[in-house]
Copies of this chain bind each other. A is one copy, B any other.
Amino acid sequence: MGQLRRDPIAGRWVEVAVTNPQKCDEFDLKPQVKKGGTCPFCPGSEKMTPPEIEVIRDPKTRPDTPGWTVRVVSNKFPALKIEGEIDRRGVGMFDMSNGIGAHEVIIENSDHNKDLADLTQDQIRNVISKYKSRSIDLENDARFKYILLFKNHGEPAGASLEHSHTQLVALPIVPKRVKEELKGAQNYFKFRERCVFCDMIAQELQEKERIVFENGNFIAFCPFVSRFPFEVWLLPKSHNPEFRSIDDSAISDMAEALKEILVRMKVKLNDPAYNFIIHTAPIRDGIYEEYHWHLELMPKLMNVAGFEWGSGLYINPTSPELNAKCLRETKI
């Protein structure tokens, strides 16, 4: 039996189990299995991808050959194409636009068998630096309004290639969910004259029970209104609307925190499939001072069913308090 909780950002209701909390390890946990075979992201296969856009590589090696540690390329099968002008028009009652945008892949390391959780803090730092530099580069293109960074790990989370990678999509529109969050943050600010995310951090630091990890610049917790079991949010403690303005010391702390969360999940939940998404302010068309960038991580432990789709009301069969305790106490 549950408790309904409402998040103050998007106004989403979630039912969480509290009276009869499911145990940490009651899910049907199957680790992600790598099938192998020819991989376009492995060293030696560089010609199978479009040419590299940015790279960290041994200076003695040539572009698009082995010798790299992080490699950014265009997606060979992009969701949106980069060439052309935006042509938005009506079709009867509907609106339409051609699919202008950029779709890039950040290959996180050269070893096919190492996932993000297996990398060192230094290696993860390099990956996050590429998230930042690609964001800044694409910001210069006046056609784009939003840059979305996300990672799908494992087939159940929608990953079609198993070599560990993150994706970046630059969009000619501000996506609906981002607009909702911006509006929620603005409404809260109007009412309280404070940032909703900063207030959330303050409440979590005071109550402590949902915190998973904390360092100088970052805090990771299972949100009070978790939609999914073991959902974790990672937030910079200082207010900042834009991910791309992250500085070197914060990148280092973010790498540490991300590794902590991913390793704990891998150990406790048997290498679950997961998605993470970096939520950041739009590039142009306004000032978004009320917003606070963050990363949302959702392990894929169950299927989303008709109820959630139909209602936007999520049923979480566990409690965030118990999930956080589990992850905190996991020996790594």
Using known A-B contacts A13-B173, A175-B313, A177-B312, determine if residue A6 contacts B306 with beta carbons closer than 8 Å: no
Task: For residue A260, give the distance in angstroms from its CB to the closest CB of chain B.
Answer: 20
Q: What is the bound-complex CA distance between A279 and B178, given in angstroms?
A: 24
The stretch of A35-43, A54-62, A88-96, A130-138 in contact with B is A88-96
Instruction: Judge whether A79 and B306 touch: CB under 8 Å.
Output: no
Nearest opposing residue in chain B for A180, CB measure = B312
Which residues of chain B have C-beta atoms less than 8 A from A81's C-beta?
Answer: 1
Instruction: Judge whether A309 and B298 touch: CB under 8 Å.
Output: yes
Instruction: Judge whether A6 and B99 touch: CB under 8 Å.
Output: no
Using known A-B contacts A15-B79, A94-B225, A224-B91, determine if residue A171 contacts B313 with beta carbons closer than 8 Å: yes
Chain A facing B: main interface SS: mixed
Q: Which residues of A159-180 are within 8 A (CB) of B?
A: 159, 167, 169, 171-173, 175-178, 180
Tell yes or no: A215 within 8 A of B by CB. no
Instruction: Judge whether B306 and A150 touch: CB under 8 Å.
Output: yes
Tell yes or no: A304 within 8 A of B by CB. yes
Q: What is the bound-complex CA distance between A64 and B50, given in angstroms?
A: 65
Task: For residue A15, give the distance in angstroms from its CB to the closest CB of chain B.
Answer: 6
21 pairs, CB–CB < 8 Å, chain A vs chain B: A2-B79, A2-B80, A3-B97, A4-B98, A4-B173, A6-B95, A10-B176, A13-B176, A93-B196, A93-B200, A150-B310, A152-B305, A152-B307, A157-B306, A175-B310, A175-B311, A177-B311, A178-B311, A178-B312, A275-B306, A279-B310
